[in-house]
Amino acid sequence: MDGLFGGLITSKTRIKILMRLFLNPRQHAYLREMAGEFNISPSQVRDELQHLSDAGLLEHEKSGRQINYRANQQHPLFPELHSMVQKAVGMDRILDSIIERLGNLEEAWLIDDYAEGRDTGLIDLLLVGDIDQNNLTDLVGKTEAYIGRTIRTLVVSANERDRLDHILENKSRLLLWQHT
């Protein structure tokens, strides 16, 4: 384990892969997709994927000519790595603030790029419920400054969300919070 942690954060490419695959562990990606996304050579990505796979942090499966990689959720370090990635992106801060201050929040969804595990700098949130717009505007501004990313929100009622389901089912999405 010490060898894993000793080498876990020494490579920028490795960090990008961890961010990509551990933000939303249900998503997968293949080598050339990540190489293009990170703007680096496929051989660099291949080496890092191999290191992370050898350490048991990634699972992979062949799909045609591609090998798709995803976070190994059964690995003992998965919870910690997933949490670290969420903190690095600022998701923990966003969630805590949303739940505390927005009123009658029923659901919070992460959609598009970040739901796919891509840290593009633009976080799209779908908020379902009766939301206090003044607090939302204030919260978004403060959180953006804190995490260094732009947050775009779409606020809908539960009925409106039901009408949008046919559009949302074709988008990548990750349920962040749901009132129970």
* pLDDT tens digits, one per residue of 75-107: 998 988 888 887 777 776 666 666 677 778 898
* pLDDT tens digits, one per residue of 111-139: 998 888 788 889 999 999 998 888 889 88
pLDDT of residue 31: 94
| Domains of the chain, start order | 2-83 (1.10.10.10), 90-178 (3.30.460.10)
Q: Is 130 helix (H, G, I), strand (E, B) or coil?
A: strand
Query: Contact, 87 vs 102, CB < 8 A?
Result: no
DSSP 46-112: HHHHHHHHHTTSEEEEEETTEEEEEE-TTSTTHHHHHHHHHHHHTHHHHHHHHHHHSEEEEEEEEEG
pLDDT of residue 48: 92
pLDDT of residue 49: 95
